[in-house]
Structure 1
Amino acid sequence: MASLMEDLIDVLNKEEEQYQGLIELGKKKREVVIRADIKTLDEITATEQEVASNLQNLAKKRTRVLNDMATVLGRNPGEVTITKMISYLEEQPVEQKQLMEVKERLLQTGKEMEAINEQNEILLNQALEMVEFDLTLLKSMRQAPETANYNKNACNTGDLLGSSGFDAKQ
């Protein structure tokens, strides 16, 4: 059981390290979005994908270790969580304390990452709105207003003004 506990704490520590790495990438991403540096944003996104893959592997390992611990304790493997493991360790205060500390650090890191992701989401939405505004402005600049010229049937001819917006002919 002691080696399983060490494995669990090790996996949780590695998960926290990966999340800390994502936090740093999120901070860099914020600066890159502000500068509108698409190339660097692409590189950061690729790195984030690698970290996400590592986190997925660590999550699988954590689940395996928890299932092994549940089997040793005679519990249902599907129902064992870190919080329940903490409560099961009442007779082992050292391990219980270590597990509680790792859990709290991981939760704090998750909250910090969530805040950074929310800020980046807002920045990205604002950047998209700005791009949409620019595109609308460019489209409207290419469209010239129609003249108020009518044909003999009193229908608008739909003639467009020149690109300068003024009719220089007299």
Structure 2
Amino acid sequence: MEDFMDVLEKENGEYERLTELSREKRQIIIDGNIPALEEITSREQEITSVLKNLEKKREEVVNDMSIVLSKKPEELTLTNMIAFLNKQPKEQQQLQELKEKLHATLEQMAEINNQNEVLLQHAIEMAEFDLTLFKSMRQAPVTANYDKRANNTGDLLGSSGFDAKQ
């Protein structure tokens, strides 16, 4: 049980680090700092790798516990383990507190990530707007582009979009 709680503590610590990076990422997205976004994404991937290893370790511990308790690994959820520890109130309380701590950390991380997702969506929309605006600046108005036979030509302005010979 100690190994299990130790792994959960480490996982919570990594999720807290990931949450902190998500907070940093929010400001980076707002600032539009692409190099910093790449760097923070790299750091997130490192933490995710550590979390993947901790998850494997936790699964191994749960499998070992399932053999000792003669239960299926799927039955050994945190809630069930807390119930199994009714004769060990100290460990039961520790596991309950750890569960609540993990739950709070993951909720916080999910909330920040949802906010970041909205910010990224807005940034994408702004980039698309800027591209559309830039393209439209290069295009002459439809009513002003006629050939000798009074047909619309649809020609584009010069490549720069500015007339330097005014």
The TM-score range, normalised by the shorter chain, is: 0.7 to 0.9
Alignment partners' CA distance in 2, 1:58 and 1:44: 21
Whether the 8 Å CA contact 2:138–2:156 is kept in 1: the answer is: no
| TM-score, length-scaled by structure 1 | 0.86
Change (3 A) 1:21 1:148: closer
Matching residue within 9, 16, 19 for 1:13: 9
Alignment partners' CA distance in 2, 1:43 and 1:157: 49
Whether the 8 Å CA contact 2:82–2:96 is kept in 1: the answer is: yes
Give the Å deviation of 1:77. 2.2
Matching residue within 98, 122, 129 for 1:126: 122
Whether the 8 Å CA contact 1:67–1:78 is kept in 2: the answer is: no
> Based on CA coordinates, which of the two structures has the bigger radius of gyration?
1
| TM-score, length-scaled by structure 2 | 0.88
**Residue of structure 1 in register with 2:106 after alignment:** 110
Percent identical pairs in the alignment equals 50
Q: Where does the alignment leave 5 or more consecutive residues of structure 1 unmatched?
A: none
Whether the 8 Å CA contact 1:151–1:157 is kept in 2: the answer is: no
Q: Secondary structure at the match of 1:144?
A: coil
Give the Å deviation of 1:79. 2.4
Alignment partners' CA distance in 2, 1:157 and 1:78: 70
**Residue of structure 1 in register with 2:131 after alignment:** 135
Alignment partners' CA distance in 2, 1:141 and 1:105: 54
> Which residues in structure 2 correspond to 1:13-92 (within 5 Å)?
13-92=9-88
RMSD after superposition? 2.1
Whether the 8 Å CA contact 1:145–1:161 is kept in 2: the answer is: no
